[in-house]
């Protein structure tokens, strides 16, 4: 059930989470750990955030995971930390702390379908400015944050019309995000990664923090614990409470890492 989650403070949330004997902390990346940037390559963690995540992931009784729509290989480069779980491609590829890799989906035909979608996207974008086509292997993202709004609307309408037959035939779905339109296999979502981690760390208090439409699947997958929406404005969500910005998320992580409770 979706409602508008009340605004919370990092201090109160940190105190509540620190009281758990074992904590499973799961976080989205873009818009949660780091602010949304004009292009994905500009959204990078600063040294202070990396140090805080590293300390948390090595703390006794703390399990930390980052679950993102980005490819696993990207997350590995952005977050080269010890003891951190990484889930890329909306949870389709999960790397555990020891390096063991778990894949939700293995499908050669899917890669061919994504290549077909990529060709269509590049044709629709042509030489237009402000667009970015990103092939993630098992999904495709069409970014338009820097595009003219009216041109973006025209491009998206054309793209959706042209890829509809490919999607219908191959069980793919559209997923709108923050100035991005993504196509992924049906049934692949961050909620699957949350279920996997909650099953692996049964008994730990699960907390998921995220900001976008793709994080709603993760919030809904929580059977207990807490979902934390990151948003400056109140909006309907399956989350339990809300923080206003990635900066407040960092404050929460810092308080947990320093153990002020």
Neighbour-count burial of 105, counting CB atoms closer than 10 A to its CB (0-12 exposed, 13-18 middle, 19+ buried):
middle
Residue 260 has what pLDDT? 60
**The pLDDT of residue 65:** 97
Query: What pLDDT was estimated at residue 107?
Result: 63
- Answer yes or no: 28 catalytic: yes
How far is the C-alpha of 39 from the C-alpha of 130, rounded, in Å? 10
**Residue 102: which residues within 8 A CB-CB, separation 6 or more?**
93, 94, 95, 96, 196
The per-residue pLDDT for 2 is: 82
Give me the tens of pLDDT residue by residue for the chain, a chain 261 residues long: 689 999 999 999 999 999 999 999 999 999 999 998 887 778 899 999 999 999 999 999 999 999 998 989 999 999 999 999 999 988 888 998 877 888 877 666 788 888 999 999 999 998 889 999 989 888 899 999 899 999 999 999 999 999 999 898 888 989 888 888 999 888 888 999 999 999 999 999 999 999 988 899 999 999 999 999 999 999 999 999 999 999 999 999 999 998 765
Tokens read off for 237: 């969500």
The answer to whether 61 and 21 are in contact (CB under 8 A) is yes
Would you state the structure tokens that stand for residue 236, as one six-digit string? Answer: 């309907």
**DSSP-assigned states of every residue in 158-188:** HHHHHHHHHHHHTTEEEEE-SSEEEEEETT-
Quick one: pLDDT at residue 87? 94
What pTM did the predictor assign? Answer: 0.86
Task: Report angle CA 235, 253, 188 to the nearest 5 degrees.
Answer: 55
| Nearest in space to 33 (alpha carbons), one of 9, 52, 49 | 49
Residues in the chain: 261
Distance CA 209, CA 249 (A): 8
Pinpoint the alpha helices (H) of the chain. 10-18, 47-57, 72-78, 108-125, 149-169, 190-200, 216-221, 246-258
Q: How many CA atoms lie within 13 A of 239 on its CB side?
A: 27
Catalytic residue among 28, 211, 212, 215: 28
Is residue 136 within 8 A of residue 177, CB to CB? The reply is no
């Amino acid at each position: 059930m979706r409602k508008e989650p009340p605004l919370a403070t990092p201090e109160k949330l940190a105190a509540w989470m620190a009281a758990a004997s074992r904590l499973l902390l799961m976080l989205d990346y873009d818009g949660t750990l780091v602010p949304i940037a004009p292009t994905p390559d500009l959204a990078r963690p600063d040294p202070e955030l990396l140090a805080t995540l590293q300390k948390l992931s090595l703390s006794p009784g703390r399990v930390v995971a980052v679950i993102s729509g980005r490819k696993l290989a990207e997350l590995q480069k952005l977050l080269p930390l010890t003891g951190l779980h990484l889930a890329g491609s909306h949870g389709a590829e999960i790397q555990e702390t020891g390096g063991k890799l778990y894949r939700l989906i293995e499908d050669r035909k899917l890669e061919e379908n994504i290549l077909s979608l990529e060709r269509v996207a590049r044709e629709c974008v042509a030489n237009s400015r402000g667009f970015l086509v990103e092939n993630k292997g098992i999904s495709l993202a069409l970014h338009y944050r820097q595009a003219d709004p009216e041109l973006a609307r025209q491009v998206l309408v054309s793209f959706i019309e042209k890829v509809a037959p490919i999607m219908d035939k191959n069980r793919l779905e559209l997923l709108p995000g923050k100035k991005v339109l993504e196509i992924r296999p049906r049934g692949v979502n961050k909620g699957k990664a949350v279920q996997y981690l909650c099953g692996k760390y049964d008994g730990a208090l699960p907390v998921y923090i995220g900001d976008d439409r793709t994080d709603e699947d993760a919030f809904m997958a929580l059977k207990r614990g807490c979902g934390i929406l990151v948003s400056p404005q109140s909006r309907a969500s399956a989350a339990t409470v809300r923080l206003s910005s990635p900066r407040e998320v960092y404050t929460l992580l810092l308080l947990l890492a320093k153990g002020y409770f």
